[in-house]
Amino acid sequence: MSDQSPATLLDSLGGGLVSMATADVGRSREKARTRRWVKLTFAVWAVVTVLLARAATMSPSSSLLPVPHLDPAYVMIGLFFGVMILVVVLQFVMTGKSPHVIYRPDQLSTRLDDVVGIDGVKDEAIKTLNLFLAHRTFADAMGGKPRRGVLFEGPPGTGKTHLARAMAREAGVPFLFASGTQFVSSFQGASSRKVRSFFKALSKVALKEGGAIAFIEEIDVIAAARSGVSTAMTPMTPMSSTVAASCSGTLSLPAAYGQAAPGLVTNGFTGGSDTSSIVNELLVQMQSFDRLTGGQKLLGKLIDKINLMLPLGRQLRSPQAVVPNILIIAATNRASSLDPALLRPGRFDRKIGFELPAKSARRELLDYFLSTKAHKEELDDERRDALAATTIGYSPAMLENLLDEALVFAVRRGDKAMTWADVEHARMTIEVGVGQPVEYTDHERRLIATHEAGHATMAYLTAPDRRLEILTIIKRKGSLGLLAHGDKHDVYTRSRSEMEALIQIAMGGQCAEEIFFGDVSTGPGGDLLYATNCAAEMVGAHGMEKSLVSYLAVQNSAFSDTNIVGRVLADPEGRQAVEEVLQKHKQRARELLTENRHLVEALRDALLARHELLGREITEVLDTARATPRTIDLRAQDQVSS
């Protein structure tokens, strides 16, 4: 086996992945393998020596191995009590057995080359893995303390488990996988025993194999903050995350007729049952990796007995515990809910954040997924760029699911490869649901078409940077009709004019109903909720109106609601400011639609004829209507003004 000097090994830590064969893990594994062969050789020779000695001294009529003669009655009684004792012992042992599953490196097919779209996270993972592989050199040559715990935090489907498996595969060490829910037991004390058994098994495997990597999924289940323990103060939520959750999704459901929009998403967390005993055990085990082996314990007891009879200056040295090379990776979606003692140095002190992929990362992921999925040649670079641009907010798991759904549509067509139309159909089904035709009355159909045309026309006039995706009067996801629209590019912050445009788009449906029918239906309820959320953000969080006071700073009982919308609306002055913003932008939307009612009419008639318009079909109708000379209907204008 090739060796590598400590200096050379340390120089290579800052580059790519260190070779496992030349790192400390490989050397430790070779030493352990040599010790096992020596022990096996001594054991075999001991047995052979005993058998040869017995064969030399035995009489010709006796057998080589002694065969005891037992009474059958005693055998049956012994078996009965043995089974009873075994059942009791197994019941106790099984309730505290570690729930992990061990995967050998060759059982893991995921490598670091399969981790795409998260280059920054991948680089940090390689650096962590290099320290794991060169743990002894890092400690002896530099005096550093090897990293033991890493916390992966991020939304679901962003690749946390995927990266952990790749790290274990590249390290060439066993991978112990467990879920936080598997440690929870209804038996008193069983959960803590499971935690102890898990770490005991982890240390045992690491000593045998030169190292081991453990992965605990959803660790917040067993590591939530204990009662009476204050969590560390987290930084204030940036504007982009709050606004994006309420006002900038790829699919604008608040522009749907007859559907209520979701409120603002907050990062509050309500604790569940008390898990103090499990957390305490987890904290102790994270700090207690240095355990004596069984042989070391026996030798230590023997040395202690001998030292009792020896003078102080001549006492024998007890065996020293060997610290196993262990890396524990934990994953969670809610790091803020974890007990702060678990995040201190020496435990999970390194936090690696996983984010939803940007456009360039989504393009890399699409190339990776399509390399193994059957597709037509029309899914070329241009189409892939377009798909990467339209899948804002998609996680890697969602992108793969999108392509799998496209393959399902291809199979239904009797084809063996997906087309661009299959991908578009799959995306529409995932984002806005399966179409459920409803037999509207003529008045309802015309009302819904006018309402949705008002939304689309306002988006066309006030937000040219937004992408109009789907305009439909077919019932989907509980909405009788909807406009799906999103940003053309990844957006991390919004200007005041963009927020105002979103409010005006939401008001477009109600204004169109008032202009063309002189009445308002129940359809705009979700639009008003969406517009109110945006206006409350402007007034109470971002200082976009008259007041610069942030309602996020209010802590008295009158404003105890953690939702920014609730805080703003509970304040009479804030509520009045929101009302003024909504009234102002509704008036602006009404004026624009009145001036461009021919655009609404053209889009309404296209919807009534085709029921659903996709992408370019929407803008083509509007561009054609805008370029066509129009006849001013003075009677209609007089009716509106009156």
What is the domain-level CATH number for residue 621? 1.20.58.760
Residue 408 has what pLDDT?
Answer: 94
Mean pLDDT of 114-128: 88
Q: Give the active site residue among 209, 452, 500, 513.
A: 452
Mean pLDDT of 125-133: 86
Residue 489 has what pLDDT?
Answer: 76
Residues 141, 209 within the same domain: yes
Distance of alpha carbon 244 from alpha carbon 568, whole angstroms: 19
For 626, counting Cβ atoms within 10 Å of its Cβ (0-12 exposed, 13-18 middle, 19+ buried), the class is middle
Distance of alpha carbon 494 from alpha carbon 501, whole angstroms: 11
The answer to whether position 72 is within a domain reads: no
Residue 506 has what pLDDT?
Answer: 93
Q: Could you give the angle at which helices 359-370 and 381-390 cross, rounded to 10 degrees?
A: 130
Q: Which domain holds residue 428?
A: 359-392+394-432
The answer to whether position 368 is within a domain reads: yes
Strand spans (E) along 556-630:
612-614
Residues 551, 625 within the same domain: yes
Higher local confidence (pLDDT), 258 or 77: 77
Distance of alpha carbon 196 from alpha carbon 281, whole angstroms: 7
Residue 535 has what pLDDT?
Answer: 92
Confidence of residue 256 (pLDDT cuts 50, 70, 90): low
Residues 420, 516 within the same domain: no
Residue 301 has pLDDT above 80, yes or no: yes
Indicate the number of domains in the chain: 3
Mean pLDDT of 289-305: 79
Residue 346 has what pLDDT?
Answer: 80
Distance of alpha carbon 30 from alpha carbon 28, whole angstroms: 5
Residue 11 has pLDDT above 60, yes or no: no
Task: Using the 3D structure, point to which of 408, 432, 456 is the last residue of a domain.
Answer: 432
Which of the residue ranges 2-11, 325-334, 455-464 would you say has the lowest mean pLDDT? 2-11
Confidence of residue 564 (pLDDT cuts 50, 70, 90): confident
Confidence of residue 270 (pLDDT cuts 50, 70, 90): very low
Question: What is the three-class DSSP state of 322?
Answer: strand
Tell me the residue length of the chain. Answer: 642
**Other Cβ atoms within 10 Å of 252 Cβ, number:** 25
Distant-in-sequence contacts of 412-417, Cβ < 8 A, 24+ apart = 416/374, 417/374, 417/375, 417/376
Residue 639 has pLDDT above 60, yes or no: no
Residues 555, 415 within the same domain: no
Residues 404, 553 within the same domain: no
Distance of alpha carbon 568 from alpha carbon 309, whole angstroms: 79
Residues 6+ apart with CB under 8 A from 525: 258, 260
> What CATH number does residue 369 fall under?
1.10.8.60
Which of the residue ranges 109-118, 280-289, 359-368, 576-585 would you say has the lowest mean pLDDT? 280-289
Residue 176 has what pLDDT?
Answer: 93
The answer to whether position 463 is within a domain reads: yes
The answer to whether position 451 is within a domain reads: yes
Residue 235 has what pLDDT?
Answer: 38
Distance of alpha carbon 403 from alpha carbon 389, whole angstroms: 15
Residue 512 has what pLDDT?
Answer: 94
Residues 513, 422 within the same domain: no
Question: To the nearest whole number, what is the mean pLDDT of the chain?
Answer: 80
Residues 414, 558 within the same domain: no
Confidence of residue 642 (pLDDT cuts 50, 70, 90): very low
Residues 463, 592 within the same domain: yes
The answer to whether position 109 is within a domain reads: yes
Higher local confidence (pLDDT), 635 or 318: 318
Compute the chain's Rg from CA coordinates.
34
pLDDT digits (tens, 9 = 90+) for 49-90: 877 777 777 666 666 666 666 677 777 888 878 888 877 776
**Other Cβ atoms within 10 Å of 40 Cβ, number:** 10
Residue 431 has pLDDT above 90, yes or no: no
pLDDT digits (tens, 9 = 90+) for 589-625: 999 999 999 999 999 999 999 988 888 889 999 999 8
Confidence of residue 34 (pLDDT cuts 50, 70, 90): confident
Residue 183 has what pLDDT?
Answer: 87
Mean pLDDT of 283-291: 76
Which of the residue ranges 76-80, 116-120, 575-579, 601-605 would you say has the lowest mean pLDDT? 76-80
Of 10-24, 280-294, 310-324, 491-505, highest mean pLDDT: 491-505
Residue 241 has pLDDT above 50, yes or no: no
Residues 349, 367 within the same domain: no
Residue 307 has what pLDDT?
Answer: 85
Residue 243 has pLDDT above 50, yes or no: no
The answer to whether position 366 is within a domain reads: yes
Q: What is the separation of C-alpha 576 from the centre of its chain, rounded to a whole number of angstroms?
A: 39
The answer to whether position 572 is within a domain reads: yes
The answer to whether position 259 is within a domain reads: no
Residues 428, 438 within the same domain: no
Residue 554 has what pLDDT?
Answer: 61
Confidence of residue 532 (pLDDT cuts 50, 70, 90): very high
Q: What is the dihedral of CA 564, 568, 569, 571, to 10 degrees?
A: 140
**Other Cβ atoms within 10 Å of 534 Cβ, number:** 29
Mean pLDDT of 110-125: 89
Residues 413, 368 within the same domain: yes
Of 5-9, 26-30, 147-151, 254-258, highest mean pLDDT: 147-151
Residue 258 has pLDDT above 70, yes or no: no
Residues 481, 416 within the same domain: no
> What CATH number does residue 203 fall under?
3.40.50.300
What is the DSSP annotation of 75-101?
HHHHHHHHHHHHHHHHHHHHHT----E
Tell me whether residue 591 is one of the annotated catalytic residues: no
**Other Cβ atoms within 10 Å of 637 Cβ, number:** 12
Of 91-105, 535-549, 557-571, highest mean pLDDT: 535-549
